[in-house]
């Protein structure tokens, strides 16, 4: 091969797609209107090769290091523990979420979203990165990652959630190695809070069709409420779990309870930078609820993902 880029294009994954992670659905209109534009901005391995002359646009990785990552990807795909969720609905949902956040303001009109490189998708378990105005720091962005799924298999979802629980136990965030800032274009390696978003295959397929038709009613669709609530409950779970590591007597049931506790005990945020990040996401979502006049949720009823998180945590 004449170049590293040629070698990448020569290596095809099991779905018949280049190793950078471009996927398509059978809905050609959705592919043209939604999928292709997102694939154009998906971070590529070659974006991170050293430049001559230097472009001063952030980090780069040597050819040798990137080859190690490609080998890691190959080994990962061959592992018996590897779950390749690439059904029609699953592929579409990743793009549906990005388009919904970008085009229909599901997470606010100031939210940015970026697809992940295949390394961060498969190895680090994140499909997309959301950047929103930081609720506590002026002129800064708060970032978090989302792992989407349409699986109805409980064990598949549990596998994703165990990753979240493991990171919380270790007081860690998720790593994103190949990130390109949507705001500045700078190449970065970042650490972010991790969330899982589950949507049924039927709903994901319906959203694909509507987005392909540029359905403007999606701005006010119930999917944004479901999305906000899933993220909110997981952020509250994360803060609750991190708090209980320091004080077993703390047991908070709802996002509103967590917010009120933190309002009265701001000093606890200084004990964990991870807790601080999840709390910031929780506060951003609370502010977003107010803006969208959805009200503040105060119920002990938990969504499917949050219920699964608590079930898995109790089983540990």
3-state secondary structure of 233: helix
Residue labelled with tokens 């908070």: 252
**Count of structural domains within the chain:** 1
Between 193 and 293, where is the model more confident? 193
3-state secondary structure of 239: helix
**Does the pLDDT value for residue 4 go beyond 60?**
no
Cβ-contact 101, 111 below 8 angstroms: yes
Question: 121 lies in which domain range?
Answer: 4-315
pLDDT in tens, 155-202: 888 989 999 999 999 999 999 999 999 888 899 999 999 999 999 999
Give the pair of three-digit tokens for residue 35: 């999928």
**Per-residue confidence at 315, pLDDT binned at 50, 70, 90?**
low
In the prediction, which pLDDT does 81 show?
Answer: 66
In the prediction, which pLDDT does 95 show?
Answer: 96
Give the pair of three-digit tokens for residue 240: 């609750």
Cβ-contact 137, 257 below 8 angstroms: no
Between 252 and 216, where is the model more confident? 216
For the entire predicted model, the pTM comes to 0.89
Residue 105 CA to residue 102 CA, distance in Å, equals: 6
pLDDT in tens, 210-251: 999 999 999 999 999 889 989 999 999 999 999 998 888 888
């Amino acid at each position: 091969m004449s170049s590293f880029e040629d070698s990448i294009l020569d290596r095809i994954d099991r779905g018949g797609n280049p190793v950078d992670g471009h996927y398509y659905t059978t809905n050609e209109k959705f592919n043209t209107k939604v999928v292709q534009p997102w694939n154009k901005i998906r971070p590529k391995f070659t974006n991170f090769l050293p430049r001559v002359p230097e472009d001063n646009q952030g980090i780069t990785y040597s050819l040798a290091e990137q080859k190690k990552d490609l080998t890691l990807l190959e080994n990962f795909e061959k592992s018996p523990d590897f779950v390749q969720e690439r059904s029609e609905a699953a592929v579409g949902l990743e793009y549906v979420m990005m388009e919904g956040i970008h085009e229909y303001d599901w997470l606010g009109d100031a939210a940015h979203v970026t697809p992940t490189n295949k390394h961060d998708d498969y190895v680090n378990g994140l499909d997309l990165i959301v950047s929103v105005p930081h609720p506590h720091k002026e002129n800064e962005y708060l970032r978090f990652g989302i792992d989407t799924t349409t699986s109805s298999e409980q064990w598949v979802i549990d596998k994703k959630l165990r990753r979240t629980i493991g990171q919380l136990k270790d007081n860690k965030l998720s790593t994103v190695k190949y990130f390109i800032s949507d705001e500045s274009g700078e190449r970065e390696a970042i650490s972010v809070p991790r969330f899982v978003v589950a949507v049924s295959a039927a709903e994901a397929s319906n959203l694909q069709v509507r987005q392909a038709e540029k359905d403007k009613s999606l701005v006010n669709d119930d999917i944004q409420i479901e999305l906000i609530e899933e993220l909110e409950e997981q952020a509250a779970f994360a803060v609750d779990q991190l708090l209980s590591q320091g004080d077993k007597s703390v047991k908070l049931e709802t996002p509103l309870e967590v917010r009120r506790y933190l309002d009265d005990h701001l000093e606890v945020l200084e004990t964990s930078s991870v807790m601080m990040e999840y709390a910031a996401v929780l506060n951003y979502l609370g502010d977003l609820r107010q803006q969208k006049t959805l009200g503040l949720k105060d119920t002990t009823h938990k969504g499917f993902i949050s219920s699964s998180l608590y079930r898995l945590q109790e089983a540990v």
